[in-house]
């Protein structure tokens, strides 16, 4: 699937999320003061290998999540500073006080919510199956007996485990980041990847060696992770997100990375 299909699906999902959450109405741009680990600085935990949400281009850390985090920091009157980590270590790092918040295309799940608090949702997501160009794998049923790559700690991994238990996957190979999984897919050491649709589609578009074979609707919500007990930070981040939605800055960031919804 190409970029236009990626954008269309993501636009529908995010607009539905914003309507459902009710954050488009009655909000102001004023936010509360929050206490941070380092005065005047918002330390933000994130990985740097998950485009288009967070990635390194040259010496610059960029992406949708990066822009959202920077805008939140500005709303809180703080200077943003990214602390890079792997996704598998992002929650332990937040619990251990390595950063104030964590933003890394992180789905809000019951398991994660027992470990950290989350902001209001800011993005919707689904899973997908990604394969090499020319592969005969067209859907989930064709993964029987195949080796599937996943990024450790993700909901893609959880979906693969669920499918394997049902007899739908031969072997799961885990990687510390999604770029390593794509390298393995391209050289043929794995047969497919299960991962967030937006990232699978983006990397496939950029590298040109793979394609999304099937979208798996999971209706996940991304949230910003915050340490348990830090109600002040939760409230501040939620107010910043609401203000961004109201004044159009969220829309501008979204359009920058995913394009604008078609007017019909």
Domain co-membership, 174 together with 46: no
pLDDT of 19 above 70: no
Say whether both 19 and 118 belong to one domain. Answer: yes
- Total domains present in the chain: 2
What average pLDDT does the chain have? 89
For residue 15, what pLDDT band results from cuts at 50, 70 and 90?
very low
Whether residue 123 is predicted with pLDDT greater than 80 in this model: the reply is yes
Q: Does 158 lie in the same domain as 232?
A: no
pLDDT confidence of 259, banded at 50, 70, 90? confident
- Tell me which of 6-20, 111-125, 207-221 is least confident: 6-20
Residue 117 has pLDDT above 90, yes or no: yes
State whether 7 and 105 are in the same domain: yes
Rounded Cα distance, 80 and 248, in Å? 21
Question: Cα separation of 98 and 90, whole Å?
Answer: 9
Question: CB of 170 within 8 A of CB of 195?
Answer: no
Same domain, residue pair 194 and 245: no
Q: At 195, is the secondary structure helix, strand, or coil?
A: strand
57 lies in the same domain as 141:
no
Q: Look at residue 260 in the predicted model and tell me its pLDDT.
A: 60
Say which residues have a Cβ less than 8 Å from residue 255's Cβ, sequence separation at least 6. Answer: none
- Of the two residues 50 and 14, the one the predictor is more confident about is 50
CATH number at residue 133: 3.40.190.10
Do 159 and 196 reside in the same domain of the chain? yes
User: Is residue 264 situated within a structural domain?
Assistant: no
Three-state DSSP at 238 gives helix
Phi-psi region of 36 (alpha: psi -120 to 50; beta: other; left: phi over 0): beta
| Model confidence pLDDT, tens digit, residues 165-184 | 998 899 999 999 999 999 99
Three-class secondary structure of residue 172 per DSSP: strand
26-60 per-position pLDDT tens digit: 343 446 689 999 999 999 999 999 999 999 999 99
pLDDT at 18 over 90: no
Task: HSE, CB side, 13 Å, CA atoms: give it for residue 225.
Answer: 32
- The DSSP letter of residue 102 is E
165 plus 100 within the same structural domain: no
Residue 131 maps to a domain: yes
Cβ(30)–Cβ(243) below 8 Å: yes
- The alpha-helical segments, DSSP class H, found in the chain are 3-21, 64-75, 90-95, 110-113, 155-165, 178-187, 197-207, 231-247, 249-258
d(CA 124, CA 9): 10
The b/e string for 216-232 (b: 16+ C-beta within 10 A; e otherwise) is eebebbbbbbbbeebee
Q: Are 6 and 26 in contact (CB under 8 A)?
A: no
Quote the tokens at residue 57: 């281009």
> Tell me, what's the pLDDT at 47?
94
As separate numbers, helices (DSSP H) first and strands (DSSP E) second, the chain gives 9, 13
CA dist., res. 262 & res. 222, Å (int): 23
Residue span of the structural domain in which 51 resides: 3-122+223-258
Task: Check residue 261 and give its pLDDT.
Answer: 52
Contacting residues for 61 by C-beta, under 8 A, at least 6 apart: 46, 48, 54, 55, 82, 84
Residue range 132-152, pLDDT digits in tens: 999 999 999 999 999 999 999
What sign has the CA pseudo-torsion 83, 88, 90, 93? negative
Q: Look up tokens 């090499």; give the residue.
A: 132
């Amino acid at each position: 699937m190409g970029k236009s299909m990626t954008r269309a699906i993501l636009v529908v999902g995010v607009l539905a999320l914003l309507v459902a959450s009710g954050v488009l109405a009655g909000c102001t741009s004023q936010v509360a003061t929050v206490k941070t680990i380092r005065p005047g600085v918002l330390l933000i935990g994130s990985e740097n290998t998950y485009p288009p949400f967070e990635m390194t281009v040259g010496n610059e850390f960029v992406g949708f999540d990066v822009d959202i985090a920077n805008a939140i920091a500005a709303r809180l009157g703080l200077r943003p500073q990214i602390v890079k980590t792997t996704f598998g270590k992002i929650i332990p790092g937040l619990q251990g006080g390595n950063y104030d918040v964590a933003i890394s295309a992180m789905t809000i799940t019951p398991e994660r919510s027992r470990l950290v608090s989350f902001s209001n949702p800011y993005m919707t997501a689904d899973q997908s199956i990604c394969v090499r160009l020319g592969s005969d794998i067209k859907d989930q049923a064709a993964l029987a007996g195949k080796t599937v790559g996943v990024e450790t700690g993700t909901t893609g991994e959880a979906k693969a485990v669920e499918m394997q238990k049902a007899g739908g996957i031969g072997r799961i190979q885990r990687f510390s980041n999604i770029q390593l999984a794509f390298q393995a897919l391209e050289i043929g050491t794995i047969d497919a990847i299960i991962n967030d649709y937006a990232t699978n589609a983006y990397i496939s578009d950029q590298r040109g060696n793979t394609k999304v074979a099937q979208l798996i609707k999971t209706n996940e919500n991304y949230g910003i992770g915050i340490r348990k007990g830090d109600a002040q930070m939760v409230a501040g981040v939620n107010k910043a997100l609401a203000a961004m939605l109201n004044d159009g800055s969220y829309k501008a960031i979204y359009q920058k990375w995913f394009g604008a919804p078609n007017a019909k």
